[in-house]
Structure 1
Amino acid sequence: MRELFDEAHGHSPLDPREASRKSSTTPLRKRFYESAGVAETPEGFAVTLDGKQVRTPGKRMLAAPVREVAEAIAAEWGAQVDVIDPMSMPVTRLANSTIDGVANDVAAVRDDIAKYFDTDLLFYRASFPEELIARQAEHWDPVLRWLADELGAHFILAEGVMHVKQPDKAVQAVRQALPETPWAVAAMHVVTTITGSALLALALYRKALTPDQVWAAAHVDEDWNSQQWGADDEVMQRWAQRRRDFDAAVKVLAAVPR
């Protein structure tokens, strides 16, 4: 079901995952450096290759606001072997997108996240079978109760995928709870687009759910289908890549200023 919401929302021009899609068709560059490191600068913690500062595709300095994130980026560069494979560097891709794109228009990316509040994954429930209905309730209802108790946001549920207008007061309450700094917004955008739920991303951001709980809640339908029909290798590969991107966003979201 989450794929339906992905199609409905489309992809923002500032989507932090767009770079990964484009890079998959670009020839891989050979590794040209011996070591990767981190240097503290006035712009933040810059990633270095053989002591030289790295630039983003937009020619800006590749630097993070906290050392933990910069070290994660440097570790990805250090882990490359013969060629540099951007698909194996999710924190680097997120950093590039944040610096080159999101930082230029944080409000637009916040707005893109907020679009999910009107048609969030958690609102639309299965009408059968009973076991799937129960699983959705088990994973999704606690999030909706938390939103009601914590933020006063009360949402309306529906069966199927027919659009249901959500109360403006509830949408405004969760919108106001979004982060405002570029790195946090970029990371939350990645979590939102991967899970199909800005509400799950918000629960993660506010530490109401753990990353594993968010991942499980986002994949209730897929897990159910896999148990019934099995999952082929291609599907599993896509899930593994999504999980790498998700984990990178979680790491950034937990470390950067909010």
Structure 2
Amino acid sequence: MLASLYRLLCARPVVLNSGLRRGMCSLHSMYMQKRSYAPPTERKKFYESVSISQGEGGYEINLDRRKLKTPQGKIFTVPSEPLAIAVATEWDSQRDIIRFFTMHLTTLCNTALDNPTQRNKENLIRASLKFLDTDTICYRVEEPPGLVELQTNEWDPVLKWAENRYDVTIGSSTSIMGPVIPDQTKEVFHRHLASYNSWSLIGIEFIVTQLKSLVLAMGLIDRFLTVQEAVLLSRLEEEYQIQRWGNVEWAHDYDLQELQARTAAGTLFVHLCSSSSTIKHKLLQD
């Protein structure tokens, strides 16, 4: 599964065109954008080879003989060898110009290492939990009938899975205020998120922000959904309108592929940060 996720990482970052339901999260999204942490957009390539090595605090990325550093000047060190290999692959895939906006894993690692907004684990948990009150799949329409049926058929099974998986009540609503999520449900999700380390929580928040849905993010991380399924479910209203009215030539596919790339990167990041496995260095030479 991780290999198939990584194949989606070559696309550029997504700029979402949000509908009414996503619009309710717009202020939160703007807040999240201010937290984004990335190098300049492009730079001329200055290295020939990429390798990884084990340092005191984890695995490091080497560009020729120079160690990769974060924007704040720290040695770029990641907790698992599989993650180091994935990041090294991002750098090795660059051609004459380094396009930083294609390097989602590198950006997520920089955020974890530099922690520019000085957030602790509790801050990260609450950032993802905020989306539960405005979760995309909890908001339903009363018309048109076709969209009502689509939401019921596609979103209800995911809600049912989440309620059974976590033994909680979530529900849905046609009110613009959305469903009232029980405090007990929030506590259960809080405890579940607390079981992840801080690096994984950064990845989870990244996925939740892309999909505007904690439920879809959990379904994706738990492998109940694929990246493609989660993305399409998060865009259900947009896809319905596109099927009905058509779309701007290239724009729809562009947005869809970019959202898949970001979501895949976040999912890969979570799994690799949750893994304690190592890979023999000789595999890098195969």
The verdict on a shared fold, with TM-score over 0.5 as the criterion, is yes
Aligned counterpart in structure 1 of residue 37 of structure 2, from 6, 19, 32: 19
TM-score by length of 2: 0.80
User: Helix, strand or coil: the match of 1:39?
Assistant: strand
Structure-2 separation of matches of 1:67 and 1:156: 40
CA offsets 1:154-212 (integer angstroms, 9 cap, x no match): 12321153344221112222222114312211111111011010111112223332323
SS at match of 1:37: strand
Aligned to 2:126: 111
Aligned match of 1:126:
141
Is residue 100 from structure 1 mapped to residue 114 from structure 2 by the alignment? yes
Provide the rounded CA distance (Å) in 2 between the counterparts of 1:19 and 1:238.
21
Q: Deviations over 1:112-171 (max 9, x none)?
A: 101011221111112122222222122221222122222221123211533442211122
Structure 1 residue aligned with 2:205: 189
Q: What is the aligned counterpart of 2:263 among 239, 246, 250?
A: 246
- Structure 1 counterpart of 2:63: 49
Conserved? CA contact 1:46–1:61, under 8 Å: yes
> Offset of 1:87 from its aligned partner?
0.9
Tell me if structure 2 keeps the 8 A contact 1:103–1:182: no
CA contact (8 A) 2:83 2:269 kept: yes
| Matched residue type, 1:248 | A
Name stretches of at least 5 consecutive residues in structure 2 with no aligned partner. Answer: 1-18, 276-286
Counterpart of 1:158 in 2: which secondary structure? coil
The answer to which structure, 1 or 2, has the higher relative contact order (CA under 8 A, 6+ apart) is: 2
Higher mean alpha-carbon deviation, 131-140 vs 157-166, is at 157-166
Mapping of residues 52-201 of structure 1, within 5 Å: 52-101=66-115, 104-178=119-193, 179-201=195-217
Q: Which amino acid aligns with 1:9?
A: H
Equivalent AA in structure 2 for residue 246 of structure 1 = T
TM-score computed with the length of structure 1 as normaliser: 0.88
Measure the CA separation in 1 of the matches of 2:41 and 2:187. 44
Distance in 2 between the 1:61 and 1:161 partners?
A: 47
The within-5 A match list for 1:2-17 is 2-12=21-31
By how many angstroms is 1:222 displaced? Answer: 1.6
Deviations 1:66-107 (A, max 9, x none): 122111111111111122111111111111112222885222
Q: How far off is 1:111 after superposition?
A: 0.7
**CA distance 1:172–1:11, change in 2 (3 Å):** farther
- CA change 1:209–1:99 in 2 (3 A) is same
What amino acid is aligned across from residue 238 of structure 1 in structure 2? D
Q: Provide the aligned length of Structure 1 versus Structure 2.
A: 253
The AA in structure 1 aligned to 2:157 is P
The CA distance in 1 between the partners of 2:109 and 2:24, in whole Å, is: 26
Residues 66, 255 of structure 1: 8 Å contact kept: yes
C-alpha contact 2:138 2:178 (8 A) present in aligned 1: no
Contact 2:22 2:136 in 1 (8 A): no
Tell me the SS of whatever aligns to 2:237: helix
Q: Whole-Å Cα distance in 1 between the matches of residues 41 and 232 of structure 2? A: 35
Alignment identity in percent? 23
User: 2:42 touches 2:97 (CA, 8 Å); kept in 1?
Assistant: yes
1:224 maps to 240
Q: Mean Cα displacement is larger for which, 188-197 or 236-245?
A: 236-245
How far, CA to CA, are the matches of 2:24 and 2:157 in structure 1? 21
Question: In the alignment, is the contact (CA less than 8 A) between 2:25 and 2:134 conserved in 1?
Answer: no
Whether the 8 Å contact between 2:172 and 2:178 is mirrored in structure 1 is no
Equivalent of residue 203 in structure 1, options 209, 214, 219 = 219
Give the match's secondary structure for 1:46.
strand
Aligned-partner SS, 1:177: helix
Distance 1:121 1:241 in 2: 19
Q: Matched residues in 2 for 1:134 and 1:256: separation?
A: 38
**Is the contact made by 1:5 and 1:121 (CA closer than 8 Å) also made in structure 2?**
no
